[in-house]
């Protein structure tokens, strides 16, 4: 344990099951630890560092804007906030943006907006979410999330209902004109990298139209190119009423947003919602540079192509790896489900110089930055094969 780890163990809440490494520096797809060892980052801060680490566009935006204006209040207009709202609306086809600081805050704003509109329409029914979902860690968003997140936090708020994910019969049975809204992820990230079925999403859209229910896509992990499209919902040929975004939007600088139509945004009036830091000039200026770089450098196309390459390489080696149960995902959001718990595997990958993640206990989650190259993938797959084949020999 190094001195940083000792300090942390003494003074920080004991909340994170940290890996035994202290990261001090990053550049592109690489990060370095305090001993100077180099790692290839196949996690990107959990789908955040879309441009990799210390991208010149991000560094420049921080430098330029921090010399002008870092923060003021939402009582005033600021140039970066107005510019970012225009950029996001122009790209997405939505008409209004609200800015906050994180994914959870974006979901909280969407929950409140849905409730306000539901109240206006006289709806008394729940906000629906799906088993295995992750929408953040506030009391409302854990109520929409998986059982594991909710345990020990009773009493939880009323007015939420959870249905099985990808189960068409269940949504047909349970959604009705009283239902307020539905929250869904295009690919459940924390739930184990589980993509939604197209038929399920198309039916969901139809049911929401029939019963005047707000369809809300949580694009916090899937947004900004991660799945090979600008947003995850675009894989299904439908359009949600509201989307929530964060993570990659700031490329590492905290920012979240809600995007929706003009009409739906008017569910809120003055004083209904707000934030001190949300949409501050520094965060918005960084986000503008991140999103523009993703578009201008054609990184969504790179995500699509490299995602296909990563999956096909993993599928090829997995034929010789009996411990692999399934490989799934979309774009650069790839999960490898193992027949064994994956923490020991990710520790071995760390020793070999790779940051990869374990989710849902036995799913190795790969979320490289959108700038990932074939040679990074080749190197990852080679090491993954070596680690897993040595496990096989032992078991």
Ligand X SMILES: Cc1ncc(COP(=O)(O)O)c(C=O)c1O
Task: Name the site residues for ligand X (rule: CB under 6 A).
Answer: 46, 102-104, 107, 134-136, 185, 189-190, 218, 220-221, 246
DSSP secondary-structure letter at 297? T
Give whichever of 223 and 307 is closer to ligand X, judged by the CB atom: 223
Coil, helix or strand for 163?
strand
Nearer to ligand X, 243 or 324 (CB): 243
Number of H helices, E strands in the chain: 14, 17
Q: Which of 98, 99, 130, 134 is catalytic?
A: 134
Identify the helix (H) or strand (E) that includes residue 363.
Answer: strand 363-366
Tokens 């002008």, residue located = 68
Read off φ and ψ for residue 286, nearest 5 degrees: -65, -45
First to last CA, the chain: 30
Separation of alpha carbons 230 and 94, rounded Å: 13
Annotated catalytic residue, options 41, 218, 241, 376:
218
Which is closer to ligand X, CB of 104 or CB of 327? 104
CB of 91 to ligand X, least distance (A): 20
Whether 239 is catalytic is no
Q: Give exposure, 353-374, as e/b (b: 16+ Cβ within 10 Å).
A: bbbbbbbbebbbbbbbbbbbee
> Is residue 153 among the annotated active site residues?
no
Burial 291-329 (b: 16+ CB within 10 A, else e): bebbeeeebbebbbebbebbbebbeebbeebebbeebbb
Sign, CA torsion 18/21/26/27: negative
Residue at shortest CB range from ligand X: 103
Q: How far is the CB of 138 from ligand X (least distance, A)?
A: 8
Of 134 and 200, nearer to ligand X (C-beta) is 134
* 246: preceding bond cis by omega (within 30 degrees): no
Q: Which CB atom, from 92 or from 318, has the smaller least distance to ligand X?
A: 92
Task: Identify whether 134 is a catalytic site residue.
Answer: yes
Q: How far is the CB of 192 from ligand X (least distance, A)?
A: 12
Residue whose CB is less far from ligand X, 82 or 156:
156
| DSSP per position, 107-160 | HHHHHHHHHHHHHHTT---PEEEETT----SSHHHHHTS-HHHHTT-PSPPSSE
Q: How many CB atoms lie within 10 A of CB 205?
A: 20
Residue 152 corresponds to which tokens in the numbers above?
């020990």
Pick the closer one to ligand X by CB: 98 or 134: 134
C-alpha distance from residue 344 to each of 77, 350, 389 (Å): 50, 10, 13
Choose the catalytic residue: 160, 224, 247, 268: 247
Residues known to be catalytic: 134, 218, 247
């Amino acid at each position: 344990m190094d001195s940083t780890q000792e300090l942390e163990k003494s003074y920080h809440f004991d909340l994170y099951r940290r890996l035994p490494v202290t990261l001090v520096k990053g550049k592109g797809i690489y990060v370095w630890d305090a001993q100077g060892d180099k790692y290839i980052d196949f996690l990107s801060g959990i789908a955040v560092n879309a441009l990799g680490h210390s991208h010149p566009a991000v560094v420049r935006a921080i430098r330029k804007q921090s010399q002008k204006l870092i923060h003021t209040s939402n009582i005033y207009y600021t140039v970066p906030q107005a510019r970012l709202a225009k950029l996001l609306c122009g790209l997405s086809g939505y008409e209004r943006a609200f800015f906050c600081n994180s994914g959870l805050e974006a979901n909280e704003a969407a929950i409140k907006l849905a409730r306000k509109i539901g109240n206006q329409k006289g709806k008394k029914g729940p906000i629906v979410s799906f088993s295995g979902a992750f929408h953040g860690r506030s009391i409302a968003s854990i109520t929409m999330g998986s059982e594991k997140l909710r345990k020990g936090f009773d009493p939880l708020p009323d007015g939420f209902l959870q249905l099985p994910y990808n189960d068409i019969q269940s949504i047909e049975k349970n959604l009705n004109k009283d239902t307020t809204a539905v929250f869904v992820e295009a690919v459940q990230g924390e739930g184990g990298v589980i993509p939604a079925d197209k038929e399920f999403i198309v039916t969901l859209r139809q049911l929401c139209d029939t019963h005047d229910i707000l369809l809300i896509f949580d694009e916090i992990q899937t947004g900004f190119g991660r799945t090979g499209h600008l947003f995850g919902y675009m894989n299904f040929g439908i359009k949600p009423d509201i989307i929530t975004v964060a993570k990659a939007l700031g490329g590492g600088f905290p920012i979240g947003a809600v995007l929706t139509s003009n009409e739906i945004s008017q569910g809120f009036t003055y004083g209904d919602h707000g934030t001190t830091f949300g949409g501050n000039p520094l965060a918005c200026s960084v986000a503008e540079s991140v999103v523009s770089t993703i578009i201008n450098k054609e990184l969504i196309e790179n995500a699509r192509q490299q995602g296909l390459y990563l999956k096909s390489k993993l599928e090829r080696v997995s034929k010789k790896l009996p411990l692999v149960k399934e490989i799934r995902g979309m774009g650069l959001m790839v999960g490898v489900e193992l027949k064994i718990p994956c923490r020991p595997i990710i520790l071995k990958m760390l020793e070999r110089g790779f940051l990869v993640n374990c989710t849902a206990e036995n799913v190795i989650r790969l979320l490289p930055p959108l700038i990932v190259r074939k040679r990074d993938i080749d190197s990852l797959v080679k090491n993954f094969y070596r680690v897993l084949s040595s496990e096989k020999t032992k078991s």
